């Protein structure tokens, strides 16, 4: 092999390595996008950057149905039709009609979800290299598009669910008010016609409507958190905890709880949401120490692996760790109404708030030995 041939081969290897390095750097941004439109735009940008073509065409195919083409530049006239692009590609890949480009199917689980066509490559002598490069990354592109579609579908489903919960909760209020109102009228205006059993039944009805009203309020609060845009500010956690405890003390003046508050570092997040999470957590600790003779609640924070891990510990009723996976679920309760009141949404709200801030929340506990709730914040 001549020196010239060696130099040409070495030059090609260097170019291949540089293109692969650039390609995999761009792939990182593609796999992080959250919408299909974003994913397609970044895929087109990737091929424009790597191949410097005169035209890139992308056809999105969802459930076997092709959408309109996305292309660069968007001023190409005449614009290619979807059917022409699909019908001209029988195999997984082929060369374009000009011979200076390629087209290939983007497949996920053996289903074609898109077609990419790259034509007018600036350095035609490297077209085989560019095709091999495209084939080596096509699975990553397919995963990015599929994930983007799944994410968008989940967002839409969550919006529908939250809208349904909000609507149902509002619609339930009117009949509840009527039931409670008429029960009250019967007790006030017709009490002489009711025996003790009848009065007891009406009391049960009123207590049940009151509990249902609280449940509706909690559902609405849970729904609002999902719809609310996150606003990030510096938060003084010491101030929030002190304010919440002072508010709670007004409602439990007959109790003597030992609040042990450690110094808490500042954090960033939505002040109203974080306050709601603290209200729910301290409120739970207060509730579940009701039957403890010397109730103690500790609030503190440790730095672990560079993360701020806040905790709220109590020496109350606790729980069986076997059921810890149910603790943060909606309507999941580990104690009956005869033990402690509640709707089973408080901790679900906490989890939604913390995860919305990019944090984690978990719990430890022992029956009759207390509970420990931990959560991280940025």
How does pLDDT run across 45-92, given as a tens digit for each residue?
Answer: 888 888 888 888 888 888 767 776 787 887 666 666 667 777 777 788
Least confident among 183-192, 271-280, 338-347, 355-364? 338-347
Residue 5 has pLDDT above 60, yes or no: no
Domain CATH for 366 = 3.30.565.10
Per-position b or e across 209-234, b if 16+ CB within 10 A of its CB = beebeebbebbbbbbebeeeeeeeee
Instruction: Give the C-alpha separation, 319 to 18, whole Å.
Output: 57
pLDDT given at position 342: 62
How many alpha carbons fall within 13 Å on the CB side of residue 111?
A: 12
- Please tell me the distance from the alpha carbon of residue 248 to that of residue 224, in angstroms, as a whole number: 23
- Over 60: is that where the pLDDT of 338 sits? no
Q: Are residues 245 and 179 in the same domain?
A: no
Confidence of residue 179 (pLDDT cuts 50, 70, 90): confident
HEC sequence for 215-265:
HHHHHHHHHHHHHCCCCCEEECHHHHHHHHHHHHHHHCCCCCCEEEECCCC
Indicate whether 237 and 372 sit together in one domain: yes
Within this chain, do residues 196 and 274 fall inside the same structural domain, yes or no? no
pLDDT at 128 exceeding the cut of 60: yes
Residues 138 and 50 in one domain: yes
DSSP string, 100-154: SEEEEEEEETTEEEEEEEEES-SSGGGHHHHHHHHHHHHHHHHHHHHHHHHHHHH
369 and 312 in one domain? yes
Residues 281 and 362 in one domain: yes
CA distance 12 to 185: 90
The arithmetic mean of pLDDT across residues 274-295, rounded, is: 88
Q: In which band, very low, low, confident or very high, does the pLDDT at 341 lie, cut at 50, 70 and 90?
A: low
Question: What pLDDT score does 147 carry?
Answer: 86
Same domain for 136 and 216, yes or no, is no
Number of H helices, E strands in the chain: 8, 12
Least confident of 21-35, 48-62, 235-249, 298-312: 21-35
User: Which residue, 125, 154, 183, sits at the end of a domain?
Assistant: 154
Alpha helices in 32-124 (DSSP H): 36-51, 82-87
- Kindly state whether residues 50 and 142 are assigned to the same domain: yes
Of the three residues 126, 154, 182, the one that is the final residue of a domain is 154
Q: How far is CA 185 from CA 19, 174, 345, in A?
A: 80, 17, 32
Tell me what the mean pLDDT of segment 226-232 comes to: 74
343 contacts: CB under 8 Å, gap ≥ 6: 211, 214, 215, 218, 331
Same-domain check for residues 245 and 368:
yes
Q: Which of 159-173, 241-255, 333-347 has the highest mean predicted lDDT (pLDDT)?
A: 241-255
pLDDT value of position 240: 92
Which of 176, 183, 178 shows the shortest CA–CA distance to 203? 183
Q: What angle do CA 135, 141, 144 make, to 5 degrees?
A: 165
Nearby residues of 197 by Cβ (< 8 Å), 6 or more positions away: none
| Residue where a domain terminates, one of 195, 227, 259 | 227
354 and 245 inside one domain: yes
What CATH number has the domain bearing residue 63?
A: 3.30.450.40
Pair 293, 266 in one domain: yes
pLDDT at 260: 92
Q: Is the peptide bond before 132 cis (omega within 30 degrees of 0)?
A: no
Total number of residues shown for the chain? 378
Domain that holds residue 170: 161-227
Packed helices 271-288 and 237-251: angle between N→C axes, nearest 10 degrees: 40
If we measure between CA atoms, which residue out of 102, 153, 168 comes closest to residue 131? 102
Q: What is the pairing mode between strands 258-261 and 296-304?
A: parallel
Q: 118 with 207, same domain?
A: no
By the 8 A CB rule, do 244 and 282 touch? yes
Number of domains in the chain: 3
Question: Checking phi first, is residue 109 left (phi over 0); if not, alpha (psi -120 to 50) or beta?
Answer: left
């Amino acid at each position: 092999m001549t020196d010239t041939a060696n130099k040409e081969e070495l030059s090609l290897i260097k170019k291949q390595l540089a293109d692969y390095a650039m390609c995999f750097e761009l792939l990182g941004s593609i796999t992080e996008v959250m919408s299909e439109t974003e994913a397609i735009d970044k895929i087109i940008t990737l091929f424009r950057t790597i191949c410097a073509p005169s035209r890139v065409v992308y056809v999105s195919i969802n459930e076997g149905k092709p959408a309109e083409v996305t292309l660069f530049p968007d001023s190409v006239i005449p614009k290619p039709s979807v059917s022409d692009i699909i019908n001209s590609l029988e195999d997984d890949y082929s060369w374009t009609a000009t011979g200076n480009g390629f087209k290939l199917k983007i497949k996920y689980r053996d289903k074609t979800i898109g077609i990419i066509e790259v034509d007018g490559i600036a350095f035609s002598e490297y077209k085989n290299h560019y095709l091999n490069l495209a084939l080596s990354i096509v699975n990553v592109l397919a995963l990015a598009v599929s994930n983007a579609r799944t994410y968008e579908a989940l967002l839409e489903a969550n919006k529908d669910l939250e809208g349904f919960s909000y609507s149902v909760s509002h619609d339930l209020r009117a009949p509840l008010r009527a039931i409670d109102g008429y029960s009250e009228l019967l007790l006030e205006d017709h009490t002489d016609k009711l025996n003790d059993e009848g009065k007891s039944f009406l009391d049960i009805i009123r207590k049940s409507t009151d509990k249902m009203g609280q449940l509706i309020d909690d559902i609405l609060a849970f729904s609002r958190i999902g719809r609310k845009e996150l606003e990030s500010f510096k938060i003084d956690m010491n101030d929030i905890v002190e304010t919440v405890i002072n508010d709670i003390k007004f409602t439990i003046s007959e109790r003597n709880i030992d609040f042990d508050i450690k110094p808490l570092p500042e954090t960033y997040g939505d002040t109203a949401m974080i306050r709601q999470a603290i209200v729910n957590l301290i409120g739970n600790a207060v509730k579940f120490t009701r039957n403890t003779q010397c109730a103690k609640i500790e609030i503190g924070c440790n730095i672990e692996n560079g993360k701020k891990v806040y905790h709220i510990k109590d020496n109350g009723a606790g729980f069986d760790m076997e059921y810890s996976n149910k603790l943060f679920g909606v309507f999941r309760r580990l104690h009956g109404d005869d033990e402690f009141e509640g709707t089973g949404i408080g901790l679900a709200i906490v989890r939604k708030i913390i995860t919305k801030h990019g944090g984690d929340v978990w719990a430890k506990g022992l029956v009759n030995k207390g509970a420990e709730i931990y959560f991280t914040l940025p």
